[in-house]
Every structure is written in C-alpha cells, then in structure tokens.
Homo-oligomer: A and B are copies of this chain.
Amino acid sequence: MEAALRGAGVRLTRQRAALLRVLAAAEDHPDAGELHARARALDPTVSLATVYRTLGVLEAEGVVHRHVFEGGAARFETADMPHHDHLIDVETGQVMEFRSDRIEELQAKIAAEHGYELVHHRLELYCRKKTTA
C-alpha cells in the first residue's frame, strides 16, 4: 500500500502510515470511525478527516475497497484478496466473503443480453443463522 501511495504521488505521512498498518492488520470490515479509533491507538494525532481523505486516495488507487452495506456507514477492506462478494449476518453485522464463478458468469451474460458490458457489480446476501429447530 505504501507503493500505492507513492504511485499516487502523495506523501507518506505519519498519519497515513498508521492507517496503512491498521488496514493491513484488519481481518474484518471496519468503517471509517473504527479505522480512526484503531489508527489513533498507534498515533493519537490521526484525525477522522485524514482517515477519510487517505481512504479516498487508496480507493482511487484500487488498493482498498469501499462497501456500503444496508443501513450504516461505508466499510473498508484491503484489495489483497481475489474478487469476492459478501454475506452479512443480519443479527450481528458480521461480514463473510464468498465467491461463485457461476454467478459471475451469469451476471456477464445478463449484461450482454441487455446490450451492456459489466463495469462492476454488487452482490450481498443478508442472512440469518440457520435454526436447527
């Protein structure tokens, strides 16, 4: 990600370094406020505005993905995993990842049938833990 920042022609500040470390360590899908809290633990001078600004740069460079799930703030993840979609536990808000090549193919096919080419898509499954009732 440092390389991405240099590639974007921006400076690697202390605050940005803290955010990069936080993003790299994140196993979940935190929102800006959560990232801010975590970055502050490393460097108390990091402001929320800088978190948003840096996330913007990283997103533009394609090394971070922003997801706006239902009813809430945008959540972020590093783009180090291959493409995947998300399954959200509606009770806990926990996010899991999955991918289906079959669904990807079908999406491209549907777009083509409408005379379009797929730029990107969003697939989210809102689920509840299966009850063994």
Pick out which of these stretches binds chain B: A22-30, A31-39, A40-48, A122-130.
A122-130
Per the bound structure, the CA–CA distance linking A15 and B96 in Å amounts to 43
Give 20 A-B contacts (CB < 8 Å), ordered by A residue.
A68-B68, A70-B122, A87-B111, A90-B119, A96-B114, A100-B110, A102-B106, A103-B106, A106-B106, A107-B125, A111-B125, A111-B127, A115-B129, A116-B125, A116-B127, A117-B127, A117-B129, A122-B122, A122-B123, A122-B124
Is B110 within 8 A of A130, CB to CB? no
Which B residues lie within 8 Å of A125 (CB)? 107, 110-111, 116, 118, 121
Task: Report copies per complex.
Answer: 2
- How many A residues touch the partner, as a band? 20 to 34
**Knowing that A100-B110, A114-B127, A117-B127 are A-B contacts, what are 6 other residue pairs whose CB atoms are under 8 Å apart, sorted by A's residue number?**
A96-B114, A119-B127, A121-B124, A121-B126, A122-B122, A123-B124
Is B124 within 8 A of A98, CB to CB? no
Is A128 within 8 A of B117, CB to CB? yes
Cβ-based interface call for A89 (8 A):
yes
Cβ-based interface call for A83 (8 A):
no
Is B106 within 8 A of A129, CB to CB? no
